[in-house]
Chains A and B, each alone.
Chain A
């Protein structure tokens, strides 16, 4: 079938997935017996019982669960996802999400660029020099990255590059936040680097970049290991193929054989993986954002979960599911362009 038919099919499927996800999360967030009371984020310790009941009635938490779900869906389709609790200044859930999402996007893009730039060459070298020293070295690097606890690595980076550099008098990188000069530049995209560029404020941009380096690298270190392994495995398989022997028999230089013949075939699984990684990063690498105090969606979602804020949790999980599904679709579409044999 044609490409657009395939896309439409997938989009319809996506709607089902979204509904499924929202159902499950709704039940967990509002109705689960041992969960947190949905009214919790809206009250504080000094409220009386009647006040609490009033809050409960306002938000509709006293209704049966399926009615609550119905109202939620109806409002959600209009774009109203409810209000968040006191912890987020009671703003609209959707606003809270959208205002912090650009930060996560900036972090994710940076992390993905680093991952791809380091991970793919690592995997290729590993495959070409299979079972020799460069292979072992890059394997150790890759697997170490893969085995590192995300919170730990973030802290280690902060410890060295911020704290110790500070003590030793070296120029140091900032350890938290996305920018040290909040508000110095008008908000265009919500991403400090881009906003700085738009405003022509170089100092702001450089400062934003400085803040970005450590968290991006922390994220990248963990994912690049995985990517390198996948690239290595698929590259090894490709190098064993007959058409590589033919390419060599043509008298092509080894470098040409690898770049022109082997890579295109080997990178197909890597593309899938990168797409999925990107989706996951966009979901907010919670722990890294927490450790670096990065004002992104992941950190907020952590706070929301601890507060039991069902509205924000719903917005967040739905957005995440949407991102993942779209990322999968995008990857599948890219497949068509990469591998001429694929037809939907």
Chain B
């Protein structure tokens, strides 16, 4: 939202992958702004670069990938220039991610307990504080106390001795507490189990719990509804909506499903072929899509109420990333394309209140 502080500012990000068949130009100058305490949804078809953007922010790209150009500003600092160790610390405390397929993303030979507790144990100082506060105030610490960052638990650690056993116990309590907040039944039993013994929806909640446990400022959800069926999808979205009110973070939801974005996002950013092509509030995007791609996407959604003759689709195919079209990558399929579209990649420009579009043809129309 305009006026709020920007927490992640991606500027002109270009990322390539070196492969046997050539260089895959996955990201072609992505611009993205994530504000504090908002829910932003990054939508686009498979292969348009949404996950790559997220991985670049996290610093978890594959070995054959490299950043060609651009910056990613986190709270004002360019994290691309930071060392691997610094980025790891960022992942530990500020950026949390939930991935797509909970079956493959959980370690099959470790218990849930181990995998969840290790997240808490990353910050022993905080645990120590929590134990001290619990002992002095006499009440049981629950996770939500740690959730709100305003509480400012960080501070000097007094010279009180806290044993490792107490820290472990505190971590375990917090695990149980956090599992309760993601609506898991019988958390104590779950902790002892292995990932393959849980259902898909439960595994997804565990992943969400692992992300929440870091009390992040940015919560990235990469296609978390794709691998689950519709009912579980609804549950998870419901859960996320509840959590967004509780936690103090921005949420970046990456999905290819516009309905998911519509359910939960404040703003939507549409990506195509390695670029962001349109960014606006959810209502605006659905009511008044400006970019030709977005317009055709909206038209392609079948309407339940009205009878439809032929389903609308976007002609052509997704661009091949080793030799992508020059200039605006959508121009071969775009009905409004003109010569200038093939020359240079258009950048996002604001054409209405909170509504940015990257299209030469549409700038003049506002």
Contact = CB atoms under 8 A, between A and B. Distances in A.
Q: Do A and B touch (CB < 8 Å)?
A: yes
Interface of A: 241-243, 245-254, 256, 260-261, 264-265, 338-341
Contact of A243 (B91, B97, B105): B105
B227 to A, nearest CB: 11
Give chain B's interface residue range (CB within 8 Å of chain A).
Answer: 20 to 34
Nearest to A264: B109
B93 A251 contact: yes
A341 B106 contact: no
Contact of B108 (A246, A247, A265): A265
A249 B108 contact: no
Contacts of B207: 246
Given A251-B122, A252-B122, A260-B118, A245 B88 contact: no
A336 to B, nearest CB: 12
Given A242-B104, A245-B99, A250 B110 contact: no
Contacts of A253: 88
B60 A248 contact: yes
17 contacts: A242-B104, A243-B106, A243-B107, A243-B108, A246-B210, A248-B91, A249-B58, A249-B97, A250-B210, A251-B89, A251-B122, A260-B118, A261-B110, A264-B110, A339-B109, A340-B109, A340-B194
Contacts of B110: 260-261, 264
B196 interface: yes
A250 B101 CA distance: 16
Contacts of A243: 104-108
Contact of A250 (B109, B114, B119, B194): B119
Contact of B105 (A246, A254, A256, A338): A246
Contact of B107 (A248, A254, A256, A265): A265
A-B complex: 10 closest residue pairs judged by Cβ atoms: A251-B92, A251-B91, A242-B104, A243-B107, A246-B105, A242-B105, A340-B194, A249-B97, A264-B109, A261-B107
Interface centre among A247, A248, A249, A339 (most CB of B within 10 A): A249
B91 A249 contact: yes
Contacts of B194: 340-341
B214 interface: yes
A251 B94 CA distance: 10
A265 B96 CA distance: 25
Contacts of A246: 97, 99, 105-107, 207, 210
B99 A242 contact: yes
A16 B44 CA distance: 62
B214 A250 contact: yes
B109 A338 contact: yes
Interface string B46-90: 000000000000101000000000000000000000000000111
A242 B91 CA distance: 17
Nearest to B220: A249
B307 to A, nearest CB: 43
Best-surrounded residue of B58, B91, B105, B109 (most CB of chain A within 10 A): B109
B264 to A, nearest CB: 21
B60 A249 contact: yes
Nearest to A256: B118
B188 to A, nearest CB: 18
Contacts of B92: 250-252
A152 B127 CA distance: 59
A264 B109 CA distance: 7
B53 to A, nearest CB: 15
Contacts of A256: 118
Contact of B101 (A242, A247, A338): A242
A250 B119 CA distance: 7
Given A249-B97, A265-B107, 12 more contacts: A242-B101, A243-B104, A243-B107, A246-B207, A250-B92, A251-B122, A251-B214, A252-B92, A252-B118, A264-B109, A340-B108, A340-B109
Nearest to A250: B119
Nearest to A244: B107
Interface string B167-209: 0000000000000000000000000001010000000000100
A244 B69 CA distance: 27
Nearest to A247: B107
A254 B84 CA distance: 10
